[in-house]
Every structure is written in C-alpha cells, then in structure tokens.
Amino acid sequence: MASVRADGRVERGDRTRQLILGRAVQIASVEGLEGLSLGRLATELGLSKSGVFALFGSKEGLQLATVRAAVTIYVDHVLRPARSVPPGLGRIWRMCEAWIAYSRDRVFRGGCFFYAATAEFDARGGKVHDALASAQTGWVTFVEQTIEEARCVGELAVDTDVCQLAFEVIALLELANAESVLQKNNLGYDKATRAILARLRAAATDPAQLPSPLPPQLPSPFPSR
C-alpha cells in the first residue's frame, strides 16, 4: 500500500509540474523568463507556494525547467515533422514549413520562445544563459545536418556552403517571427517563404523538387489567422 500511495504522489507531482510548466512557457514567451515567479504561478494556478517551491526549488530552477519544457515543445512542432520526411530537399522544406507554422500559429503566445528568451539572456552569464545557448546550438546543428544530408544525397550542389545556408535560413525564419510579433501580421512569413525558396532553388541540383516560387501578388501558402 505504501508504494501505491507513493506512486500516486509521484503521479500527482508530475501532473502538477506539467501544469505549472505549461503556464510558465506561455508567460515567459510574452514577458520573458524574468517574468516568472513561484508565487505568481502558485496564485494563478490555485496552488500552494510551498508546493511549487518544493517542485522547483528556486526561481532559477523554475527558469531552467521552463527552458527544458520549451525545448520539448519545439522538438514536437519543428524537428519531429522534419524527421518524418526522407533526407533531401523535401526534409529541408518540411522543416521550414513546420517552423513557420510553429511561429505563425503561436504555439507560444509570444511567438518563438527561443527568439525572445535568447534576446533576454544573450549578454548574461549563468545557467539559464547556458541552457539557452545549448538549445540554440542544438537547433543550428539540426539545420546544418538537414542541409548536409540533402547535399550528400545529391539534391544540393556539392559546393554548397552548408553553414552559410543554414545561417541564412534561420535568419529569415527568425526575422519573419519578429516582424509578425511586432507588427501583428503575417506578411513576414510570405517574404521569408519567397527568400528561402529562392535560396534553396539556387543551390538545388533539381529546383523542380521544390515548390514553385511564390510571386508577390499571389496569396501565401501560409494563410493569415
């Protein structure tokens, strides 16, 4: 019986932790990780502050757990859809589509969680900075690997500068996110789509494997909400 009760407590604790982190990632995407506090989350969710403290230990512990939770959500919405497509141009394009949908559909209320959090902590030191830097490195590495795979299967030119192309794709996606959040419209996604397509088509061995270019006068394949 004791083990059953203990298991029940663990399950309840896990559910409470997920409830807290679900709220925390949304708050942080809008107000920043510094906008988080154990007391605030306890009040908003109707929990005891001591119970929330027992789960995370400190504000920094809460921030680190929030970054980890955001990574899991990011993987589910961006990396996993890309991995469902065989290596090549199709996987690169699926990755871009998934990222745009992730930002445009506001998986996080404030747009891309990591764009906002990195701007908040990029000039600081400490564990939260390091966790965000590690997450960014993981994303850049994934994009570079995805592009390198396409080069290796012969769908990108052999002389493609993989690191440079990855940098440009990420920059275009992030700028689209920033413009959408600031201006409260989806026009940046159209511009990013055209620019990324043009860049990929220029490097592709067979541009016909990619979607047709999107003329400015035509509607975007990513409709406004």
Note the pTM of the prediction, 2 decimals. Answer: 0.89
In what helix (H) or strand (E) does residue 141 lie, and over which residues does it extend? helix 127-152
Summarised one tens digit per residue, pLDDT across range 96-122 is 999 999 999 999 999 999 999 999 999
Query: What would the mean pLDDT of 69-85 be, rounded to a whole number?
Result: 98
Residue 21 reports pLDDT greater than 70:
yes
Contacts of 180 (CB under 8 A, 6+ apart): 103, 104, 111, 186, 187, 188, 189
CA distance 52 to 46: 11
Question: Any idea which architecture 59-209 has in CATH?
Answer: Orthogonal Bundle (1.10)
| pLDDT of res. 1 | 46
CA distance 29 to 25: 6
Report the pLDDT averaged over residues 67-71. 98
Domain segments of the chain as ranges: 59-209
Give the pair of three-digit tokens for residue 148.
Answer: 């390198």
Backbone angles phi, psi at 171, to 5 degrees: -60, -45
> Pick from 60, 82, 76, 189: which is nearest to 132 by CA?
60
How many C-beta atoms surround the C-beta of residue 198 within 10 A? 14
Query: What are the tens digits of pLDDT across the range 88-99?
Result: 999 999 999 999
Cβ–Cβ < 8 Å for 33, 120:
yes
Residues paired with residue 204 on neighbouring β-strands, in sequence order: 156
Residue 66 pLDDT level (bands cut at 50, 70, 90): very high
Does position 6 have pLDDT exceeding 90, yes or no?
A: no
3-state secondary structure 75-124: HHHHHHHHHCCCCCHHHHHHHHHHHHHHHHCCCCCCCCHHHHHHHHHCCC
Q: Please tell me the predicted confidence (pLDDT) of residue 45.
A: 95
Assess whether pLDDT exceeds 60 at residue 4: no
